[in-house]
Copies of this chain bind each other. A is one copy, B any other.
Amino acid sequence: MNVIQKYGGTSLESIEKIRAVAKHIASIRKEGDGIVIVASAMGKTTDELIALANEVGKEVPKRELDALLATGEQKTVALLAIALQNLGVPAVSMTGFQSGFITTDHHSKARIKEINTERTEQYLKEGKVVVLTGFQGISEEGDITTLGRGGSDTTAVAIAAQMGWDCEIYTDVDAIFTTDPKINPNARKLDRITYEELMELASTGAAVMETRSVELAKKYNVKLYIGRSLEGNIRKGTYVMNDSIYIEEMPVTGISISDDCSIYSLRGLENDGVAIANLFQLLADLHINVDMISKQTYENNKCTISFSCTDEQASDLDKAIENHELLREILVEKQPNLSILSLVGVGMATATGVASKVFSILAKEGIQYYQITTSEISISVTVNRDEKIKAVIALCEAFGL
Contacts and interface: CB of A to CB of B under 8 A. Distances in A.
Given A86-B57, A144-B95, A70 B79 contact: no
B79 A52 contact: yes
A161 B278 CA distance: 65
B85 A61 contact: yes
Nearest to A119: B142
Contacts of A75: 49, 68, 71
A15 B52 contact: yes
A60 B59 CA distance: 38
Interface in A324-351: none
The oligomer's copy count stands at: 2
A52 B12 CA distance: 13
A46 to B, nearest CB: 13
Interface in A64-115: 64-65, 67-68, 70-71, 74-75, 77-79, 81-83, 85-86, 92-93, 95, 97-98
A58 interface: yes
A18 interface: yes
* Overall SS of chain A's interface: helix
A385 interface: no
Contacts of A18: 56
Contacts of A77: 67
Contact of A74 (B59, B67, B81, B142): B67
A318 interface: no
Nearest to A88: B59
A18 B118 CA distance: 39
A164 B23 CA distance: 51
Given A55-B15, A57-B85, A68 B78 contact: yes
Contacts of A95: 67, 144
A65 B85 contact: no
B85 A59 contact: yes
B71 A86 contact: no
A56 B119 contact: no
A381 interface: no
A29 interface: no
A128 to B, nearest CB: 11
A63 interface: yes
A19 interface: yes
Contacts of A15: 52, 55-56
A293 interface: no
A53 interface: yes
A78 B98 contact: no
Interface string A15-34: 10011000000000000000
14 contacts: A15-B56, A52-B79, A56-B82, A56-B86, A57-B86, A59-B85, A64-B92, A67-B74, A68-B79, A70-B74, A71-B71, A71-B78, A97-B97, A98-B142
